[in-house]
Every structure is written in C-alpha cells, then in structure tokens.
Amino acid sequence: MFVFLVRRIVGSIPVIFGVALVVFVLFNIVGGDPALQMVGKHATAQQIADIRREYGLDQPLFVQFFNYLKEILTFEFGRSYATRQKISDMILNGIGPSLSLAVPAFLVTTVLAVSIGLVVSYFRGKLIDRATVLLCVVGISIPSLGYILFGQYILAYKMNLFPISGFDYSWSGRIEYLVLPAIVWILLSVGYDVRFYRTALLEETSQDYVRTARAKGLSEPRIFFKHVLKNSMVPIVTNVILEIPLLILGAFLLESFFGIPGIGSITIDAIHNSDLPVIKAMATMTSLLYIFGNIMTDVVYTLVDPRVKLK
C-alpha cells in the first residue's frame, strides 16, 4: 500500500505540473494583462507599473511560473486583487461554512440515493421503478435556479419556514440558515445519483454469480443486499469519492444565493470582480483535489473489492 501510494504521488507530479502550466497560460497570457484588468482601462501608466511591481508581474514569464509553482507547494497564493487579503486566509475562513453545508447534505444524499437505487433495482420493471426513474428525469431536467427560487420564494418567503438567506457563525445559530440550502442540494443531486446507482446495481444482477445464487435457491433479498450491493461498491465508491472536491469548494450557486460565506461564494465574487489570483487559486485547488480523489479511489477499491490488487 505504501509503495503504491508513493508511486501514484510521484506519478501525479507531471499531471500537477501540466495543470499548473495550463492554468498559468490561461490566466497570465491568454486572459490578457492581469495588471490592466485589475486597475481598469482608465488607469495611468504609473498605476499599471506599480501594480505589476507589487504583484511580480514585471518579471519574466518563466520567473512568474516558477513563483506560481512555489505557491502551489506552499499553498500561499498571494493576495486578492479586490480585497487585498491573503488568499490562504480567505480559503481557511470559507472552508468552515462550506463544509457545514456540504457534509450533511452530501451524506444524506448518498445514503438516500443508494437506498432508493437498491429498492428500485430490486423492483426493476415494476411501477415503483418506473415512477422513480420518471421522477429522477423530471428532477434532473429542472434547472438549479428553479429549485433555489422555489425554496426561497415558497418555503422561505411565503410559508416563512426558513430564513431566505444569511449565515450565523455560531454552531447552534447556523443550522436554521443551512436547512433550506441543504434541502435544495439534496433535490439537485439525488435524481442523478439514484439513476447512477440503479444502473450500477442492475449491471450486477446480470452477472453469472447472481444466476448461480438463484439456482441454489437463495432469496432475492439476500442476493441483493448481501451480494449485489457488495459487488456494486466499486462504481458507487468511485462516484462518492469523485464528489469529494465539491465538499471543499461548496456549491457555487447555493452559497451565492443563500448568502453563505464559503469557498463557493468567494469564487463567485472573484469571478464578478475579475479577481484573477483568487480564481487561479480555486482552479488549482480543484485540480489537486481531483488528483487526490483519483488516488484515494484506487486505494478504497481494495477495501471494498478483494479482487482488486494494488500494483
């Protein structure tokens, strides 16, 4: 296990380098002059020169890229153009609110989707299966903004069940502000996840070992809950782990519309303000989290499926 992890981490270094190169080219070359975007079109030449000197934009591109690689290694991404705060402090301050929303909503969504997927695959082809699939398709077809506006207008404004937006940093006070966005998160995610898990479970039911178990007289519930679910864990684990970056970055629209000061809200504000250092830091974090998620997926495979060997 240790040797495998070391090999995967070493093997991911070229990928990280490639991602860093692409992000640097997009934000520092293709996107135009960052200093000019920061100060605006009507800035004087002296103001532009001061900004370039302050943020190191007057140095050669290879020096800027080397400094960017150091930022990735140290997780010190400089300061925001808009707020002049350290980006690392902004990220640390935003992780708490993001995880407060994402972790409970993600856990409920996963448990609910796996449970529903297991039930409808067990009753495949019957009315409950067809009705669930139809509801999932309808739910997926509704845009995210539709759920958000319905929740804020009907549930929060008209029925006064929840606050429309806002956030309280105390642990007891934040709950009332997180319930509505968590419900919206679940409604947005559960349809896709149920269809994915249902498909994964149904693929296992066509395997030879299922027919053998039925021929031996095992009951359908035992076959599904003991054998099919266990052997379907590889695609389920893959889907779950690859969604982990969303837990850190939060839901962009949800945090923005519900006034939650998390990572997603910080990113949306940075996009509105053309705050390139923050956007670049978030793009880098997303890439690193997905690379880490892929490594962890391979490791967890061996825990859920003994047929998978680390080599």
Q: Identify the domain boundary among 54, 74, 94.
A: 74
Q: 3-state class of 170 per DSSP? A: coil
177 within domain boundaries: yes
> Average pLDDT in the 203-228 region?
81
Measured between alpha carbons, how far is 283 from 267 in angstroms, rounded to an integer? 10
122 and 245 in a single domain? The answer is yes
The answer to whether 100 touches 178, Cβ cutoff 8 Å, is: yes
116 within domain boundaries: yes
166 and 19 in a single domain? The answer is no
Percent of the chain with pLDDT over 90: 6
Residue of 181 and 298 predicted with greater confidence? 181
132 and 234 in a single domain? The answer is yes
Per-residue CA distances from 167 to 106, 128, 178 (Å): 19, 39, 8
> In which residue are the tokens 């309280």 written?
168
Q: Please report which confidence band the pLDDT of residue 131 belongs to, taking 50, 70 and 90 as the band edges.
A: very high
57 and 126 in a single domain? The answer is no
Residues in the chain: 311
CA-closest candidate to residue 221, choices 119, 82, 135: 119
| CATH code, domain carrying 122 | 1.10.3720.10
Number of domains in the chain: 2
209 within domain boundaries: yes
200 and 121 in a single domain? The answer is yes
Q: Please report which confidence band the pLDDT of residue 306 belongs to, taking 50, 70 and 90 as the band edges.
A: low
Residue of 134 and 26 predicted with greater confidence? 134
> Average pLDDT in the 94-111 region?
88
Secondary structure (DSSP) of 13-52: HHHHHHHHHHHHHIIIIIT--HHHHHH-TT--HHHHHHHH
Residue of 288 and 28 predicted with greater confidence? 288
Q: Give the per-residue pLDDT at 33.
A: 67
Say if residue 37's pLDDT is above 80. no
Q: Give the per-residue pLDDT at 112.
A: 92
153 and 35 in a single domain? The answer is no
Q: Give the per-residue pLDDT at 183.
A: 92
Q: 3-state class of 4 per DSSP? A: helix
- pLDDT digit string (tens) for 170-180? 878 888 889 99
Nearest-5° angle of CA 258, CA 98, CA 155?
30
Q: What is the pTM of this model?
A: 0.79
CA-closest candidate to residue 96, choices 194, 174, 161: 174
246 and 106 in a single domain? The answer is yes
Q: Give the per-residue pLDDT at 108.
A: 92
Q: Give the per-residue pLDDT at 276.
A: 78
Q: Which amino acid belongs to residue 43?
A: A
219 and 128 in a single domain? The answer is yes
Beta bridge partner(s), residue 86 = 79
162 and 43 in a single domain? The answer is no
54 and 142 in a single domain? The answer is no
278 within domain boundaries: no
12 and 111 in a single domain? The answer is no
Range of the domain at 43: 2-74
80 within domain boundaries: no
CA-closest candidate to residue 253, choices 137, 149, 109: 149
56 and 127 in a single domain? The answer is no
Q: Please report which confidence band the pLDDT of residue 167 belongs to, taking 50, 70 and 90 as the band edges.
A: confident
DSSP structure class, residue 307: T
Measured between alpha carbons, how far is 103 from 109 in angstroms, rounded to an integer? 10
